[in-house]
Amino acid sequence: MTDTSANDQYAGFLPPFFHDRPDADDVIIRTWQVGDALANHDVPVIPASLALFFDLVAPAAERAGANGFACLWLDRHPHEQPGWRLSVGHVGTADDLNVAIAKPLARLVGSLALAEVETETWHMTRPLWRKRSEPVRLIFWGALGRHARAVTGHRDAAGFYQPIGAGLRADHVMVALPMLEDMLGDPILRGGMGFEDALRIGMSLGRAHLLESWIEAGGAEKEPYFRPMQIWHQAWLANALIDPAVATLAMSGLPPMPALDFNTKATPETRRAALDDLSAWLATVFFNDANPALRNAFVAGVQNAVWLDPDLQQYTQPQQRAEILQGLMPYCRWFLAMALYNHLGNLAAGTARNDQVDFYAALVDALPELGALGELATQRDIEQHIIRIDAARAASAFDSLVLPFCDLLMPRLKLDAVRS
């Protein structure tokens, strides 16, 4: 890979980046319970009246000038009976949401029993959906719909968008699901690939791999309750892979990006095999010996996904958490030593930026053992001060301070092609 900035030579040929990204607290999600509880955890045929609602709601919302989406999902909460849930998302106020979908909703109410469950923001809804929501249908309208169509319908989509590359139909829910993260999640790979970008990609891969192990260990009885997380984590991984794959469109001589296994008959074993192939491809193309800092960030994300995603920690036992913490420590100390060595060298050379100096001050406030280090500190001095920090405090500072500090200091890998 060349280390030159992507330029305008690919303008008009690459999929777009979603620039009008709303704040997660400005996206309202209204959810209804639809019909009676279901008898089991099978995925039933969508009721005709619900299918009609999905045919009518996007055109109605478009006419109202709204930006949003509708998601039909099955509730897999272990302490509730399975059943249909309908959620409608809207960028704006709850009152505007009511106006945008009034007619299609009134028609649905006339044919099926609806009970409103809640109205929340996307910020609150996203972590809950991955635990209990098995999406069955998802459509967009307004700016969200235009962006989703531009990405999934792009002529090269099979080369950068995992669901299309795997051969899924355009109306398949797994084609739409990664687009939610693409438009409402935190952007990735802006201005090149940074340290935290590499870690996030590794973390997305590690979470997906971990879930397959849990599903296999839980057996058929527990599988329906893990199914939402498996689906959402696979979708988030597919989204995280868009921009690395786009970069490879301008690189010759590379093998194609391996496809994730979206088959409904896939097993944890076949999905893990696909993840392993993908991991090897990423290590060959991006996270190789030419980019050691990015390589180590990627590996740390893969191996420490549970620690870096606090929601997953609730599924581990105390003894497992202690083992996870023990495995995290070498990365924490190595990354901290790398960042300090670079920053103190920059201070001595007079090249440290103001934002790096300010962040270092915050790091020292949290980890005062580092305060005695001067500009001329050797690598051995740095390592001796780091060892004095107890594991619990070092771990608590890992994702909030150590990783962002590394991201500030490490050079970003320029990509050959980027979304604009």
Question: Beta 114-121 vs 27-34: how paired, if at all?
Answer: antiparallel
Asked if 129 and 77 touch (Cβ cutoff 8 Å), the reply is: no
The first and second tokens of residue 18, run together, are 């979603």
- Stronger pLDDT, 312 or 286, i.e. the higher one: 286
DSSP codes of every residue in 274-330: HHHHHHHHHHHHTSSTTSHHHHHHHHHHHHTHHHHSHHHHTTS-HHHHHHHHHHHHH
The fraction of the chain above a pLDDT of 90, given in percent, is: 77
Question: What's CA 377's distance to the chain center, in Å?
Answer: 38
- Model confidence band, residue 2 (pLDDT cutoffs 50, 70, 90): very low
For the chain, the average pLDDT equals 92
Summarize pLDDT for 265-288 with one digit per residue, the tens.
999 999 999 999 999 999 999 999
Mention every residue, 6+ apart, whose C-beta is less than 8 A from residue 74: 38, 41, 43, 82, 83, 84, 85, 133, 134, 136
pLDDT recorded at residue 7: 47
pTM: 0.91
How many residues does the structure list for the chain? 420
pLDDT recorded at residue 241: 97
3, pLDDT greater than 50 = no
